[in-house]
Homo-oligomer: A and B are copies of this chain.
Amino acid sequence: MSDLTLAAVSAKKASHLMAVLGSDCKNNALAAISKALLDSSEMIFKANNEDLKKAEEEDLETPLLKRLRFDSKKLKEVTDGIESLITLDDPVGKKLLHTTLDDGLDLYRVTCPIGVIGVIFESRPDALVQIASLCLKSGNSVFLKGGREAENTNRVLADIIYKAGVAAGLPEGWLHLITTREDVNAMLALDKYVDLIIPRGSNAFVQYIMKNTLIPVMGHADGVCHTYIASDCDHKKALKVVLDAKTQYVSVCNATETILVDRDLKDTLLPELISTLRDNNVEVFGDDEVSGLFNCEKAEQWHHEYLDYKVSVKLVDGISEAVDHINTYGSGHTDAIITEDKEKAEAFMDSVDSGSVLWNCSTRFADGFRYGFGAEVGISTSKLHARGPVGLEGLVSYKYKLYGNGDIVGDYASGNKKFKHIRRNI
């Protein structure tokens, strides 16, 4: 067996022990990890400085350097995050259903961990801490693979977290750091041991992972998010929300990439919208009509994620064309409507097939922290298992527990007994 396979065997074995840990044990381990991180801050910052120095030598772009930096402010953020995770309910062992099948034959649906989760993430050391603590709280073993640029920081963080966890009672093998692309590829073949892969990164990267593994993948394809401004919108509200949705942080998946404007607003709101966008350094790409009216370039394709101060603008004939456009060219991530008509808003939110559908607010709200999930392990554009921002609840599965007293199916097949199927409150 390769070292990685041995690691996977130990992670699987650990996962069966993680599954039966009590909430207190998991919370104590989280507290111990938080303390260990604070106690080892010098060592962490030293490793991070090595990574930063190397990254600067390699001329890494400023936003990437900012993500790579792990200083006392970031350390406080992640340890605060761990403290708040401790206060959240244990996602494991929740009863979701109770049905009395017959006298003395009771069925429960109860949440349980998924098992072994492999997470591949960008060069952000704070993400390592978040992901490890989310997996711990949800009772899963975890394989972590961070970006190459953060290699030293990740190694130190993973070592501190793993050892503090084991000292606090977690089973050996509960966390593994992998560091090479070869190990990622090898992990994709370990469908016998790894239950879920969560890749964070570009659309091309997520597609690559999906094409190369039998393990279920939870990831987001891309974020082609829309804001549709309906004819009966409040103009001031529309401009404010759209500007935030486009410019509050342009390089993220929940930023608006296409603005759909009702044709009735062509001579009123539209000119104001275009000038507001331009005043805020946003380059506008229009459909034929918009580009003719406002002397801007044509949008070449509608399924396009700029991640930049750029936006597509298209005129549509009412809600029906807006919904069709989004369901055709969107990515099922996050889409908003601006309208004063509640019925129209509800129709839009029911018909648009996306993880998050919003009324009169910015697409930038679609995020695990803002949604109140504590933290998020990613945003899923899949419709299976977990959709939208994924917090602790997306990291658990469930099992059915059936309690009997010598019951056999033969009695029901013969007609001797009949099922009662009484649904109980939980």
Q: Which residues of A contact B (CB under 8 A)?
A: 15-16, 19-20, 99, 101, 105, 107, 112, 114-115, 195-196, 207, 210-211, 214, 216, 218, 234, 236-237, 240-241, 243-245, 248-249, 323, 327, 345, 347, 349-351, 353-362, 364-366, 370-372, 382-385, 387-389, 397-410, 412-413, 419, 421, 423
In the bound complex, residues from chain B placing their C-beta under 8 Å from that of A385 are 384-385
Are B383 and A413 closer than 8 Å at their CB atoms? no
Nearest chain B residue, comparing its CB with the CB of A238: B406
Are A107 and B371 closer than 8 Å at their CB atoms? yes
Are A370 and B248 closer than 8 Å at their CB atoms? no
In the bound complex, residues from chain B placing their C-beta under 8 Å from that of A365 are 101, 105, 402, 404, 407, 409
In the bound complex, residues from chain B placing their C-beta under 8 Å from that of A243 are 408
A345 to chain B, nearest CB (A): 8
Known: A19-B351, A210-B214, A355-B400. A361 touches B105 (CB 8 A): yes
Cα-based distance from A387 to B196 in the complex (angstroms)? 14
| Cross-chain pairs A/B with CB under 8 angstroms, 14 sampled | A101-B371, A207-B214, A237-B405, A245-B408, A248-B409, A349-B399, A349-B401, A356-B402, A357-B399, A360-B405, A360-B407, A362-B407, A366-B402, A371-B400
In the bound complex, residues from chain B placing their C-beta under 8 Å from that of A388 are 398-400
How many chain copies does the complex carry? 2
Nearest chain B residue, comparing its CB with the CB of A423: B372
Nearest chain B residue, comparing its CB with the CB of A218: B384
Sample of 8 further A-B pairs with CB below 8 A, known A357-B402, A385-B385: A101-B372, A105-B365, A210-B214, A243-B408, A345-B403, A359-B401, A371-B400, A388-B400
Nearest chain B residue, comparing its CB with the CB of A105: B361
- Which of B101, B112, B408 is A240 in contact with, Cβ under 8 Å? B408
A384 to chain B, nearest CB (A): 4
Cα-based distance from A248 to B416 in the complex (angstroms)? 14
Nearest chain B residue, comparing its CB with the CB of A191: B210
Nearest chain B residue, comparing its CB with the CB of A409: B364
Interface centre among A115, A195, A358, A419 (most CB of B within 10 A): A358
Are A16 and B370 closer than 8 Å at their CB atoms? no
Known: A248-B413, A419-B370. A383 touches B397 (CB 8 A): yes
Are B371 and A408 closer than 8 Å at their CB atoms? no
Are A20 and B105 closer than 8 Å at their CB atoms? no
Interface centre among A105, A351, A365, A409 (most CB of B within 10 A): A409
Known: A248-B408, A408-B240, A409-B362. A399 touches B387 (CB 8 A): yes
Nearest chain B residue, comparing its CB with the CB of A354: B399
Known: A20-B350, A360-B403, A403-B360. A244 touches B384 (CB 8 A): no
A405 to chain B, nearest CB (A): 5
Known: A20-B351, A383-B115. A400 touches B244 (CB 8 A): no
Are A408 and B99 closer than 8 Å at their CB atoms? no
- Which of B16, B244, B387, B423 is A397 in contact with, Cβ under 8 Å? B387
Are A408 and B353 closer than 8 Å at their CB atoms? no
A375 to chain B, nearest CB (A): 13
Are A400 and B241 closer than 8 Å at their CB atoms? no
- Which of B112, B371, B410 is A99 in contact with, Cβ under 8 Å? B371
- Which of B241, B372, B398 is A406 in contact with, Cβ under 8 Å? B241
Are A195 and B383 closer than 8 Å at their CB atoms? yes
Are B356 and A409 closer than 8 Å at their CB atoms? no
Are B16 and A384 closer than 8 Å at their CB atoms? no
Cα-based distance from A361 to B409 in the complex (angstroms)? 9
